[in-house]
Amino acid sequence: MFKKDFVWGVASSAYQIEGRAENDGCGRCIWDDYLDTGIVNQGQNAQVTCDHIHHYKEDFALMRAMGVKHYRFSINWSRVLPEGTGKVNEVGLQFYKDLVREMKKNGITPYITLFHWDFPVALEEKGGWLNPESVNWFAEYAALIAEHFSEECEYFITLNEPQCFIGLGYLREFHAPGKHLPDRDLLSMIHHALMAHGAAVKAMRKAAKRPIKIGYAPTCGVALPASDREEDIAAAKKRYLGMNEERDNWTWTVTWFVDPVVLGTYPEEGKAYFGEALPEFSREDMELIHQPIDFLGQNIYNGYQVKAADNELGYEYVKNGDGFPKTACGWPQTPTCLYWGPKFLYERYKLPIYITENGMSCHDIVTDDGKVHDNDRIQFLDKYLNELQRAVEEGVPVEGYFLWTFLDNFEWDKGYNERFGLVYVDYATQKRTVKDSAYWYKKVMETGGEILSGNHCKREMLFLEPVFKEVVWGGTRLREQFGYPVEGDHIGECWGISGHKNGDCRITGGIYDGMQLSQVYEQYPELFGGKEAQGQFPLLVKIIDASDKLSIQVHPDDAYAQVHENGSLGKTECWYVLDCPEGAELVIGHNAQTREELIQMIEENRYEELIRRVPVKKGDFIQIEPGTIHAITEGLLILETQQSSDITYRVYDYDRQPPRPLHVRQSMEVTTVPGIPRQQVLSTASCPKNELVELISCDFYKVWKLDLTSAISIPQAYDFMQISVVEGEGVINGTFVQKGTHLIVPCDYGNVDLSGTMQLIISVPGGR
């Protein structure tokens, strides 16, 4: 779990949300010039965007309402210093003071980022980051911010994603100012930006009116091990912290941008990579860059898989499979990046870590009910935060997480195409609509992450792979009629839902894939309504194919089985007749009036006189209580719901050869005498369609039949619900099912939505 003082927040940047106001005094930044060319998404610009400059009071009140207590935002350098240096724009400075005041009024702790890509045009015209004077320009700006904000604000971040503002702005031309410079110039720009970071740290600590905490927020995709093998983990770490970038896109590297800041030197691998393109860097430069910082921020959105390989690099890339999940902007969804990224970073840099950005662009729309149902974002964040929690639980000192972002906004070169926000913004009207994900994240923050699915067993339907039993009286209908992939001509039993040691079904698909039902029951008792497992899984569902008659037998109750069968459950069961020949009968009950008469009839082999025969037809249902002599006769196909027990006492086996063991003494002891009155067979032939028709309710189970011809929804209000499809096909909660499918719907699952044309036998434990 996350610690109690873990920082949960949201992040934004000034240029993406603020817009402009009349007489605001804001200078031009490189993004203003870049957007004036009309290059972005049919000429879109950020002159209005979320109009936060006029709506900030409303926005912070909304943050408070949604439980946000920490806000990472940036100051537009050009708004406070229109020329980048020199004269201060008091209107702009006051605007940010008003922001901070309003944040604090709403109980929100500010985290200020100094530079989020809004480089002043006046300084760009002087060479920008390529000019060594940029170090002093940024230090002057940083000192101004510390002087005016350190009394109210404790947390500051110098640079946001230098990999992006250098690589996308000056190498790949995707971002402002849209230039393509040679490697030597790019390396000089990076060096000056890192020196500017160091100079800013010094200037801020000197100008601050109280002790402050300063960090730095680079980014990079995370190399993810393709497996948990030690060699793959080592390969991923080597790739993530190494340099093997394509030369036309080489700025996506961790160590070139972080090693100088934290370790005081550029990585040797990087020096070899750049060769003659590398400028000379003085010792004094490196000392300036290497200023003590309080935390390392990291913006992490996704990653890529690598595995160990016998080649020069020691690793190779693993391609994502077909249909690999992506966000709306095409980024791969790789939740483990929030585990491996912080883990690898801490192992190298030994600093507290903040995830300063993480989030997802979705195709959000306001639906007819006036809401935004962005469940895909909720699922994304849940998976990512579970992985971050795993890193925290393993000792990685992650101090906080800032979700990108609170408001939909201007998304740089994508304009208004991408929506990352927890709040939907109608840019034409400036109406804010809180998305479902905001309510979910509010609960995450309120509970310290306790609501994350990783802290609870995932409540998904459990589909089971049956276990088959070959017996002398078995047949071939389990293969021929149900399509089960079993060989042999004497397959008599399909244990469709079972956690019994003699036939433990395997879960297929989902997060529990490959686990035995007994394992899931023991490890995740919440799925079955308990805080801890209560003995063995209590029920067992079978399909029985009797091509020949079964033995005449009787089952013990719980009390007898506990004493005489090593604590086993007794066996109460019920039968639903799936198919049978014309004139079929079942053996149910006996005619002995006293135990002495019972013993005498058994010892004298007067079985035809002893047993009762009951006529049955397809669709009939009957309950078999412990102590009842019974037998399934030839030609019947039955679905049996029972206590999870394999205790059967054979009284008579029709002198079958070779002989099977009999249990005459136990049978005489447990048989109920006199026999219970002739049992009633329940016919389901005329039952209504599309309704749950109760067949039985007893201490151990409750059973229904459902004849489905149209779509219905039924509540799952029990510890768990077992469903067996005995005819037809359809869809259950989005999953296709057909004759022979067996599944369990777990506790607290919610409604079960069914459609199709099929017959189902449904059971729950305990008859509640």
> How would you classify the pairing of strands 423-426 and 431-434?
antiparallel
CB of 245 within 8 A of CB of 261? no
- 8-state DSSP, 388: H
**pLDDT < 70 positions in the chain:** 678-679, 767-768
How far is Cα of residue 543 from the mean position of the Cα atoms in its chain? 35
What angle is formed at CA 357 by the lines to CA 352 and CA 362, rounded to 5 degrees? 150
Question: Which neighbouring-strand residues pair with 724?
Answer: 742, 761
User: What gap in Å lies between CA 525 and CA 532, rounded to an integer?
Assistant: 5
Helix axes 183-207, 134-149, angle to 10 degrees: 30
To the query of whether residue 161 is one of the catalytic residues in this protein, the response is yes
pLDDT confidence of residue 680: 78
Domains of the chain in start order, with CATH, are 7-455 (3.20.20.80), 462-683 (2.60.120.10), 692-765 (2.60.120.10)
CA 511, 514, 520, 523 dihedral sign is negative
104's CB contacts (< 8 A; 6+ apart) are 110, 152
pLDDT confidence of residue 768: 44
Q: What letter represents residue 338's amino acid?
A: L
Element housing 121 (H / E)? helix 121-124
Task: Render pLDDT for 109-158 as a digit per residue (tens, 0 to 9).
Answer: 999 999 999 999 999 999 999 999 999 999 999 999 999 999 999 999 99
CB of 550 within 8 A of CB of 472? no
Picking from 715, 705, 662, 666, the residue whose alpha carbon sits closest to that of residue 685 is: 705
Task: Render pLDDT for 476-530 as a digit per residue (tens, 0 to 9).
Answer: 999 999 999 999 999 999 999 999 999 999 999 999 999 999 999 999 999 999 8
- Residue whose entry in the numeric block shows the structure tokens 């940029």: 134
447's CB contacts (< 8 A; 6+ apart) are none
> How would you classify the pairing of strands 750-765 and 720-732?
antiparallel
What is the 3-state composition of the chain as percent helix, strand, coil, each rounded to the nearest 5?
Answer: 30, 25, 45
Q: What letter represents residue 552's amino acid?
A: I
pLDDT confidence of residue 679: 66
> How would you classify the pairing of strands 155-160 and 109-115?
parallel
Q: What letter represents residue 418's amino acid?
A: E
CB atoms within 10 A of CB 455: 14
To the query of whether residue 399 is one of the catalytic residues in this protein, the response is no
DSSP 3-state assignment of 403? strand
Tokens of 154: 């404790």
C-alpha distances (whole Å) from 684 to each of 31, 50, 572, 702, 745 are 73, 63, 21, 16, 24
User: What gap in Å lies between CA 408 and CA 423, rounded to an integer?
Assistant: 6
Q: Which of 357, 418, 493, 640 is catalytic?
A: 357
Q: What letter represents residue 530's amino acid?
A: G
303 phi and psi, to 5 degrees? -155, -175
Q: Which of 18, 124, 161, 418 is catalytic?
A: 161
Helix intervals (H) in 611-690: 664-670
User: What gap in Å lies between CA 384 and CA 329, rounded to an integer?
Assistant: 17
User: What gap in Å lies between CA 438 and CA 443, rounded to an integer?
Assistant: 9
